[in-house]
Structure 1
């Protein structure tokens, strides 16, 4: 951080001066020495032997000047690169300190911790400590990543300087002369060495120990520069890149465990090279590369009876990097769809090929979920509905099968991993955020734009099949995660009280005041039916129910202690109606599982544990982590802790299912939450006035429960139970 980088430019100036000196000496040598051997004044056998040596010496001065100027150029490149990287590192340090953390000279990140021992037993304090610890870890990782990039760049400069002073011409008559081919472009040096190692690997040879140590950082460093990345990929071409990816898959999956980490790192670096090279979609390189990839994507790189197509290997490679440009991801998705429409059976899975993506489109969608903006643009039907990607994926696509030999015939079955990537992409596209980690708590009041709301609306419409709606297993959790972040809208839709929601159900969204605060709108019966399909997964139902509970708690927390029944009828009524719909869904699941008593009990128990885990000990989600206000959190805790304590006392599945039924019953849940609200506002429920007031509020909520439950039940009639 404190190194004087200007010494690099000072050294560069001296090497430039040395080049000029070599050229001056060359002129003197040419006029006063070499001329004697070539102007005809000196003849004979001695001259015949001297002339080649004189020419060689003359050329060495040229090579020396070339080498010196290359070193000067490399040192200037190093100064530019190191200065830029140090600036980025300082920026990360400044951001960490702005966020309240202290960064030590050795890069350690620390934060102040209150010393009040009594606070250690406060649940809110413990939650805050966990949040701070998570953020501290994130900043430490960001700093470590930047330091690693700096270290890779330093290795690259050392490689370039070492290469520049090596005599690469074995036939110039000098064993260790000056380098006439010295390269002064840092990126080109790294790219050429990367290509050399890539070609060696691709040809089936193994890297020697020194090369294996060099390759990981070299591939990583090349991936930091667009020009170097494009040079590498342009030289290898799509075919060569795919062949190298296949070779690395084999090496990383072989029994050579001692070198697995190195080959994994090379593979990640190669994926990063693809990311950097394809970032500029307007470059001449991009169109050439894309056209080549279209051809290589449907080429069989495997055996006749065990095909491995280019797109399968290429997308498998992409999964080793976290982020790619929007346009590249969209273009690649378009090209894969075009390829599979020409050959619908092309992605049939015959056997596992580690490192490859058997269904490249689904795996690409998984990659796309890491870039929500790209996922949204790919799946958004658009204001005029011209983009049919989402409809194709949810309604029209024939998802690849797994082929297997049966008795006297070739059989096929569904791939258990099918649509996993699609689910993640829908979650990212409809929320504008990367998919939630397991245990993370969705924000029921998250904001969305028009495109995201259209994706959510159309997902519901395309999944809806009427009263018998079934949602593919791998879509349930991610779509529920996404829908939970629209709870502010589903709360209104399920209560059927918002006319704007009803009017805009076909359009899919509306902006109530023209401020860009977009709401998703969809038909209530379609929403209910899809929620029922999602709820086959108890964690999906738990996510939705938890988000609804969070939102009700927020709405209750806004109510003042002296609120009258009439003044808060809307808040209470909507909450009761929404929970009535959730009860209808839960009842329908139970009825459907009636002949499977264990499955029914297991579902209920899993729902309860999901809710307890999510509400009592929520997992933060990055710097914009969702967190209830203290008052609202206590309203949730009043209910959730009671359920948790009862669950802890039981080990029997049937008993736990009954406890789940008890606390998820809307009457009990609402009563406990309103009681918690009363305590928050110091309302004495033991006194007649306080007791009557709380009872009145509870009845207001429960009066709407019946209507909400009835409407939802009607939407689920004739489900085949």
Structure 2
């Protein structure tokens, strides 16, 4: 009977030696991908983060305190309203997180930073469309936050933002926060399309070209979020996959019992009604989650119905096809970027 403890001690010693050898060879990070202390230390010791935190930075500050400090430095008291210094801080933090190895973000940072970043949804939405000349003019290494007649803004390269979204999306609630904020930007773009003088389609109703641009701006970011989810779920087992999807869907659940009318609040009507459709029962969580791929076409159909569009008059079938193609293209591109970055 004495052989069993000896065998266990031998096995334990072998594991310890393997771990020590891995650490000594510099590959422990590959084996211990979920080491939260490393994630926290990497962000805390980044000189850019130290600059953002200023006097509140401490070498041993807990990561939850670090996250709260970053949130306070990047957002103001009024949602969606920022100072130039706060937008500069947000850009700085995004760039620091984008440089993290393997898209790693400490668990305590994911939700607070996602909420802060969602407060800049107009800016991140513009970056993710890939067609905003203004965003691309301010996304280079020598660029910075800027101010115009619409407020304060920041931009980074699209691939950098996608990497940050991936790191935050390890938390499904953070994913839902960011996707929900972007959804509302897409809905606002469609809601702003001019229609007839009575608010509905008529002789002076919108042309297909007038709808195509805001539709593309809604479809492309939705595809990016699809691709981010694909990467989060890549390699996960069925139970873990379903749990993440269910948590993300819960985070995207409608916030009120009924949406406002389109006439009273068109953008909120489109977003909330789409979220209600997303929340309808389905045989499996996977089937419910798959509905997200139809986000842009769903918004388009709701807008067309609310504004009483003639399908043939605006070429609705062709618009649906364009939205699906844009979403699928961006989904594949984002997932491919993330898979390549992780290899």
Query: Out of 318, 324, 331, which is 1:702 matched to?
Result: 324
**How big is the shift at 1:693?**
2.6
Contact kept? 1:467, 1:716, Cα under 8 Å: no
For 1:699 and 1:392, the matched residues in 2 are separated by 53
- Note the residue ranges of structure 1 that are not aligned, 5 or more in a row: 1-361, 363-380, 401-417, 435-442, 619-627
Instruction: Establish whether residue 462 from structure 1 lines up as the match of residue 96 from structure 2.
Output: yes
In the alignment of these two chains, the number of paired residues is 284
Contact kept? 1:565, 1:696, Cα under 8 Å: no
For 1:398 and 1:479, the matched residues in 2 are separated by 20
Query: Out of 366, 369, 388, which is 2:51 matched to?
Result: 388
The TM-score, its normalising length taken from structure 2, stands at 0.73
Contact kept? 1:509, 1:519, Cα under 8 Å: yes
For 2:97 and 2:56, the matched residues in 1 are separated by 11
**How big is the shift at 1:467?**
6.5
Q: Relative to structure 1, is the Cα distance of residues 467 and 504 closer, same or farther in structure 2, using a 3 angstrom cutoff? A: same
The TM-score, its normalising length taken from structure 1, stands at 0.36
For 2:127 and 2:248, the matched residues in 1 are separated by 23
Q: In the alignment, what sits opposite 1:679?
A: 305
- Note the residue ranges of structure 2 that are not aligned, 5 or more in a row: 1-39, 41-46, 196-200
Contact kept? 1:467, 1:529, Cα under 8 Å: no
Contact kept? 1:602, 1:657, Cα under 8 Å: no
Q: In the alignment, what sits opposite 2:269?
A: 634
Q: In the alignment, what sits opposite 1:589?
A: 232
For 2:215 and 2:276, the matched residues in 1 are separated by 22
Contact kept? 1:467, 1:717, Cα under 8 Å: no
> Helix, strand or coil for the counterpart of 2:149?
coil
> Helix, strand or coil for the counterpart of 1:567?
helix
For 1:592 and 1:392, the matched residues in 2 are separated by 42
Q: Relative to structure 1, is the Cα distance of residues 589 and 680 closer, same or farther in structure 2, using a 3 angstrom cutoff? A: same
Contact kept? 2:95, 2:160, Cα under 8 Å: yes
Higher relative contact order (CA 8 A, sep 6+): 2
For 1:578 and 1:476, the matched residues in 2 are separated by 20
Instruction: Establish whether residue 658 from structure 1 lines up as the match of residue 301 from structure 2.
Output: no
Q: Counterparts in 2 of 1:409-558, with a 5 A limit? A: 418-433=62-77, 446-465=80-99, 468-505=102-139, 506=141, 507-511=143-147, 514-515=148-149, 517-558=151-192
CA-atom RMSD in angstroms = 3.1
For 1:713 and 1:477, the matched residues in 2 are separated by 22
Contact kept? 2:172, 2:247, Cα under 8 Å: yes
Instruction: Establish whether residue 645 from structure 1 lines up as the match of residue 280 from structure 2.
Output: yes
Q: Relative to structure 1, is the Cα distance of residues 423 and 616 closer, same or farther in structure 2, using a 3 angstrom cutoff? A: farther
Instruction: Establish whether residue 607 from structure 1 lines up as the match of residue 251 from structure 2.
Output: no
Q: What whole-Å deviation, never above 9, does each CA across 1:182-234 have from its counterpart, x for those lacking one?
A: xxxxxxxxxxxxxxxxxxxxxxxxxxxxxxxxxxxxxxxxxxxxxxxxxxxxx
**How big is the shift at 1:555?**
1.1
Q: Relative to structure 1, is the Cα distance of residues 531 and 608 closer, same or farther in structure 2, using a 3 angstrom cutoff? A: same
Q: What whole-Å deviation, never above 9, does each CA across 1:460-519 have from its counterpart, x for those lacking one?
A: 1111236711111111111111111111111111122123322322323123xx437221
Q: What whole-Å deviation, never above 9, does each CA across 1:147-179 have from its counterpart, x for those lacking one?
A: xxxxxxxxxxxxxxxxxxxxxxxxxxxxxxxxx
For 1:583 and 1:551, the matched residues in 2 are separated by 16
**Bigger CA radius of gyration:** 1
